[in-house]
Amino acid sequence: MDKFIEVINLTYSYRPGNGNEVKALNGINMKVFKGEFLAVTGQNGSGKSTLARHFNGLLKPRSGNVLVGGFSILDKNRLAEIRKMIGMVFQNPDNQLVSSIVEEDVAFGPENLGLPPETIRSRVGWALETLNIENLRRESPNNLSEGQKQLVAIAGVLAMKPECIVLDEPTTHLDPRSRRELLEIIIRLNREEGITIILLTHFMKEVVFCDRMIVMDLGEIKISGTPHEVFEKTTEIVRLGLDFPVATQLAAGLRGKGLKLPGNIITTEELIAQLCLLK
């Protein structure tokens, strides 16, 4: 696979220079490949959001560099292009919607790109259709549920036709059901539209569907690999304050009761398949 984002020795600190400097990132090296689904996890304050905000140049490295599609985020002339390639969805849907009409909000990004009106209209229609929220077109975001608002926020990013979408804990404000639905849509965008997904999350349920994941702590990448590889490192996961997926926990419990289950179970499907093999 082609590499799309490359992070080289990235260091960042908030409030540098005075007494209470916060070192948020500490020599990060990583790559994101075209078309992959990457999950980033870690405890509160581990530096996930800070890292994500470097991908489209919202923050500038104190040292090191980030290359997106070969362009450095330090290159001012390329910043517009980079922001076009990488869309970003944030935690609180209320604070990222601009207009009082859904359709106009979705149009906000394309309008900023200076596209002709017809193109904007067709993109807005396409984004709303892709996310199945055509019926909300004329609504005001104030009348929508949190889950619907978050979908509108994603539609607004989608309408810019980015190659990659970064989602910073997009499901925090949602109930379990909307959470599941949103995750399904994210997976669909990845598989059907070929959009590279970077998902920052606390929920191990969401992590298990990714191609690759990284675990951060204290501004460093502690573990990276496929979910199967990562969740095998049991002691480290516990030390980094993370949970295990429900299926993994359940499998461990059953193993304790004497069932002979393999150690690399992370999804419910895998657990069921292994349980069926037992008899």
Ligand X SMILES: Nc1ncnc2c1ncn2[C@@H]1O[C@H](COP(=O)(O)OP(=O)(O)OP(=O)(O)O)[C@@H](O)[C@H]1O
Residue 170, binding choice from ligand X, Mg ion, another protein, none, Cβ under 5 to 8 Å by partner class: none
Question: Smallest distance, Å, CB 200 to Mg ion?
Answer: 6
Closest CB to another protein among residues 143, 249: 143
48 binds ligand X (CB under 6 A): yes
> Does residue 131 contact residue 158 with C-beta atoms inside 8 Å?
yes
Written as six digits, the tokens of 167 are 């989602």
Residues 6+ apart with CB under 8 A from 160: 84, 87, 109, 110, 113, 123
136 binds ligand X (CB under 6 A): no
Residue 50, binding choice from Mg ion, another protein, ligand X, none, Cβ under 5 to 8 Å by partner class: ligand X
Which residues, numbered 79-108, are part of the site for another protein (CB under 8 A)? 80, 83-84, 87-88, 90, 92, 94-101, 103-104, 107-108
Residue for token pair 């209320």: 94
228 binds another protein (CB under 8 A): no
Q: For residues 27 and 214, what is the distance between their CA atoms, to the nearest angstrom? A: 15
Question: Smallest distance, Å, CB 253 to another protein?
Answer: 41
Region from 27-35, 49-57, 114-122, 217-225 binding Mg ion, contact rule CB under 5 A: 49-57
Cα–Cα nearest to 65, from 29, 16, 24, 21: 29
Q: Which of 41, 50, 56, 150 binds another protein (CB under 8 A)?
A: 56
Residue 24, binding choice from ligand X, another protein, Mg ion, none, Cβ under 5 to 8 Å by partner class: ligand X
Q: For residues 246 and 266, what is the distance between their CA atoms, to the nearest angstrom? A: 8
Q: Which of 5, 7, 10, 24 binds ligand X (CB under 6 A)?
A: 24
Q: Is 41 helix (H, G, I), strand (E, B) or coil?
A: strand
Provide the sign of the torsion angle of the four alpha carbons 52, 216, 69, 129, taken in this order: negative
Draw the binding track, 26-45, toward ligand X (x: CB under 6 A; -: no contact).
Answer: ----------------x-xx
121 binds another protein (CB under 8 A): yes
Q: Which of 3, 9, 14, 63 binds ligand X (CB under 6 A)?
A: 14
Report helix angle 146-158 to 102-112, nearest 10: 30
> Does residue 201 contact residue 171 with C-beta atoms inside 8 Å?
yes
The secondary structure element, H or E, covering residue 114 is none
DSSP string, 189-223: HHHHS--EEEEE-S-HHHHTTSSEEEEEETTEEEE
Residues in the site for Mg ion, rule: CB under 5 A?
49
- Binding residues (CB under 6 A) for ligand X: these are 14-15, 22, 24, 42, 44-50
Q: Which residues bind another protein (CB under 8 A)?
A: 53, 56, 58, 80, 83-84, 87-88, 90, 92, 94-101, 103-104, 107-117, 120-121, 124, 141-142, 156-157, 160
